[in-house]
Structure formats: structure tokens, C-alpha cells
Amino acid sequence: MTQKGYKMESLIISMVVFAFAGAATPGPVNIVAAASGAQFGVKKALVYVVGASVSYAVVVLLCGLTIGSILLSVPEFSFYLKVAGSLFLLYLAYQIASSSPVALQQTSAKTDPPGFGKGAMTQGLNPKAWLYASSGISLFVAGTNSANLYLTLLVTISLVVCFVGVATWAVFGQAIGRWLNSCKRQRMFNVLMGLLLAITVAGMWWE
């Protein structure tokens, strides 16, 4: 393998590690995925997972097209994004915490699983997604001689790795769901997941 080939391989590995660190760690998108997996099963939760993954790939692309520099240089822009994201995530936290145990057990027609749009919004309104993507752009793309190629690589890797990371949380949720065989446990799980999501919102403002 040529030196150029080694450099490209090393770059791809670094991008995968970077993307996985952001996609697999606890956060609002993953908490909702786990709750959805527990309540509706992985198959139905995957629609949400795809929405979140596509949305993150778009976020990375937009950050690569100079929006990232705006986020990093204009505090007001980040502030308003944080406000909008916090309100939406708190709404999701309330929905999860107040979910009916009967709906969780029987998946009633009255309760729909989070869909593609909700996954896209949860990711798109997550300030950390934008700031993390901006960091990735500055780390792997900005100032390089092959910016378009590297941006394409980062967007593609982000899409795939985000899907794997968020889907893993949905699988975890489904595994937990097998032990939620009583209304009391179901309600406790719902409240816990809602609280965790609310805590992640508080964490955005604490940093």
C-alpha cells in the first residue's frame, strides 16, 4: 500500500472513531431510541433511527458548507438553536414520562412510535449535534487540499455510524422491554427515560 493509501486508511479510521464517539454515547437522540425500542420494538423504532441518522448526515454536510463556522463564531446563533432544541426535547421528555403502561404493553393504536420526522427533528434541534459536526469539519475537512472528498467521506461515515450507534440503543431498549412485564415497571421505566432526557437538556445549559 502506498503512503497515500495509508494516509487515507488512517483518515477513515479516525473519522469512524470520531463519529462513533458522538453517536454511541448517551444523549437525547439515543434516549428516545431506547424508549422507543422498549415500547414498540426495534423494527418500529428503526424509522426513528433512520430519521435521526439522515438528519445528522445533513447537519454534517451543512456544517461543511460554512454553517459550522457561523455556529462557532456567532454565539447568538447557537443560543437560539439551544433554546429551540431544549423546548422540543422537554416536550419529548414529557411525552415519554407520561406514556401509558397499557400502551407500552399492548402497543395500542392510540400511541404511535416516534417516526422519521421526529427522529430528524430531535437530531436537527440538538445543539450538540451541530457543535460536534462542526468540530469534525474543523478536524478532518477544513484547510485540506481535498476538502470536497473529505467532506463526502465524513458525511457518508457519519450516516452509517450514526445509524449503527442509535440502532444499538433501540436494541438495548427492546432487550430491557422484555423485562417490563408489569404496569409498575413500565411506568417507572417511562418516568426514568423522561427524566434522563430532561437531564440531558439541563446538561446543555450547564456546560
Q: pLDDT tens, 149-179? A: 999 999 999 999 999 999 999 999 888 877 7
What domain range is 97 assigned to? 3-206
pLDDT value, residue 104: 45
Torsion angle in degrees (nearest 10) through CA of 84, 88, 89, 92: 180
Average pLDDT score over residue span 88-94:
81
Report the phi/psi class of residue 90: left, alpha or beta, with left for phi > 0 and alpha for psi in -120 to 50: alpha
pLDDT tens for residues 95-117?
A: 878 876 644 444 444 567 889 99
Average pLDDT score over residue span 13-37:
88
136 backbone dihedrals φ, ψ, rounded to 5° = -65, -40
pLDDT value, residue 2: 64
pLDDT band at 122 (very low <50, low <70, confident <90, very high): very high
HSE at residue 104, side-chain half, CA atoms within 13 A, is: 31
pLDDT value, residue 105: 46
Enclosing H/E stretch for 35: helix 28-40
What percent of the chain stands above pLDDT 70? 83
pLDDT value, residue 59: 95
Query: How many domains would you assign to the chain?
Result: 1
CB contact at 8 A, 172 and 179: no
Average pLDDT of the chain, as a whole number: 82
Whole-model pTM?
0.76
Q: Which of 63, 64, 207 is nearest to 124 (CA)?
A: 63
